[in-house]
Structure 1
Amino acid sequence: MRLSRRGIAIAVIAPTLLATAACSNTSSSAAKKSSTLTISVWGVNEDIDSIKAAAKGFEAANPDIKLKFNKTDCGADYAVCKTLIAGRNMSDVLVTGSWNINQMANNGVLADLTDKMAADGVKTSDFVPVVIDSDKAAIDGRYHALPMGYNVQSLFFNTDMFARAGLAPPPADGSYTYDDLREWSKKLTLDSQGNNAESPKFDAKHIVQWGYDNRVAAASEPGFEPVLWAYGGGVLGGDGRDRCDLEKPGTAQALQLLQDMMWKDHTAVTPQMEQETPGYLRWIQGHVAIQQGSHEQVTIAAQQNPKLKFDMAALPKGPAGNSTLIQVHSWAAYAKSPNADNAWKFIKYMATTGAGKQMGLIPAYKNVAAGPDFLQAPGEPAHLKEAQLDPAAWPLARSNIDPKGVLSTVLGQDGFGPALGDIITGKKTAADALKGACAKVDKILGS
């Protein structure tokens, strides 16, 4: 399962558990070298099957190494890894992500792969820059993982709905604005009598087709963060994401736009609607014209509504430019694995020679994404390259790295959470809700 399809809770584990985890793996007799390599994998069955399929090439080339796949949330959720470590059940290899790799590296859980990369000629230049950079740990500037693949936030739109509204498709390269998006959404939102949101007869209580869905309605960072960045704002800024950007003017402007589309224009999916049926499913069912999401929506649409006619475009411009959020899944080795050499062999293969078709992600290695594993795969939208591949080179394309391991707390009830809740439910304007937000965040950051 890709991260954007579910919320990954980054739990704060009690100090006693951390201490137990540390002590449990200090003994050299805790684990013995083995020809069997254990690999923690997570996600839906299709995700795990894709990993196993990609690994068959490794098994054929290394018949002396046996692979054992363990289905567990370790890697998606760091807390699960800590429990495995405490019980001396940690796998040799795991799939981690840009959202928690720094926490694991900071705690010494992940092996440093930098020297092995140099020795075997694995070059960072062979990967998408913003993706490989997410595997460089903030604590030491060294690589503690190699990319499996990545997701990019893009715009999905129903081509039939645009045609019926007399609208041209959104420019695939993102050469349009959030103001354009807002105006389209008004024209694409329809009540039960066929009136759009611009009509004086529009009945906001009986909407049958919504113009827009952004996962801000679910308080999801991949939903709102690209919009904040495009407006020159954000939650955490700075090279180390160690500066509060919540009180920047652009943050309030972006969040006010999203609030207005929900509660003033009545064109966007609201939190209550999101709880009843997630907005992306409403889009797949043909009840929403435009949604912001990642490539997995293509797969879900093919499975649940193969007759849906849609295309993709890069996200629009804000005052600061075009921005998108990138989520990275990576292969990493447990630092105390007794099978370090075999773990590295597997990781190197899966990130390079075996790259592609893993967990439905965009391959990050060389030009694999431009081939049959992604861009040339059957059933893909017409403008996949412009919407998914090209934005990775944008100056404001950023991954959801968390160098200080505080983002879940910052987004929670002790930080930004209450303000965001007031904004998306329409209780306060964005500017009013964000007053004093940085004081709370600075406390979490230790500033």
Structure 2
Amino acid sequence: MASMNNATEGQHDPATPLFDAVSHPNSLSKQVTRFFGLGQDRIENILPGTPFQRDVMDCAAKDGQRAVGHVVFEIPQDVDTARLAAAWKETVHQTPALRTCAYTSNTGDVFQVVLRESFVFSWMDWTSLGLKDEVVQDEAAAAVAGPRCNRFVLLDNPDTNERLLIWTFSYALVDTAFQERVLGRVLKAYKDAHDELPRQLETPDSSQATPEEDPNPNPNPNPSRILKIPQVADMERATQFWRKYFSGLDASAFPPLSPPLTIPSPDAQAEHRISYSSPIQRKWSSTTLCRAALAILLSRYTHSPGALFGVVTKQAPMLDQHQLMMDRPTRTVVPIHVSCAPDQSVSDVMGTIDAHDHAMRQFVHAGLRNISSTGDNASAACGFQTVLLVTDSDTKRAATWEILKKTE
């Protein structure tokens, strides 16, 4: 969490960049087109980055490969690779998140740039190098390519007839849950194309990440569709919400830090996983139950009337009639504080948490930097050291094993 709260040297006031972008949309649009070397007709949308994306970009500022990951799939022998590639291309075309790039503006703020077309798929013979070397080479090429690192390489070993697909991506844009949804779409596109000829693919060299030509370019793009940033009124409401929420903050962070709560410098990290089975019929969600349990535990342990920690929560979409729905993970990390007075019942604590969760989702887009700038209490709250993530272990994975099998 340290890099989320660190102030970058020479960075502007964290509360102002989005306001500047709203006031000067043409300036940001020109920065983006110049950086990517594209015309405005190639850009579908520009959205503000999430706090998590800013953290990933900060961590990879000196080494771009730190933000790049990969997943490798085995391709069964009865799968038509040309049709599989066409299915991937169709999925990328239909999924804006797979055409999204992370961009850092001149003011140091991170934005999500959605390209109209961006598909890098190449075939390579897999004989001279081992799998590990191939993966390292492609990740390095993706890092050099910068933000356009969502790419696919199909490795074919003619000696063993083994075929592998490497999907290289940015951690700022893709997580495990999103991968499963994408694989489900690829499977559907593959099956739907059973009686159709696969679409012809352009296969640029793996080291070149140049978006394809838009088959129907718009010579007069609507500026309102190019730049989509939260309006000033949205940020003002978010500022008021977080300032009021942390007013009179009286809680202890865990592990305890020397007051006042400032930017922490941890020298170790620990992760604990706890399995929890909830009844089918229940009044409270698993997320509310787990947050209440952690809050009460930390409050009692620190002998404090309240608990302070970070939570991973879903962000409500900020869309209007002109915007395109982004089918992508919209999770972000925000601080919460929970009052746990001795005379409070567990139901009261859970009710408060549940009500706050519903109210909070429309304001989490402000991000940690903007939240911390709303006052001293909010700044202290953003120094949390513990983050709670509640996942649904019963979620079924996409049935993609017919065409792709994930390797270990």
TM-score, normalised via structure 2 length = 0.28
TM-score, normalised via structure 1 length = 0.27
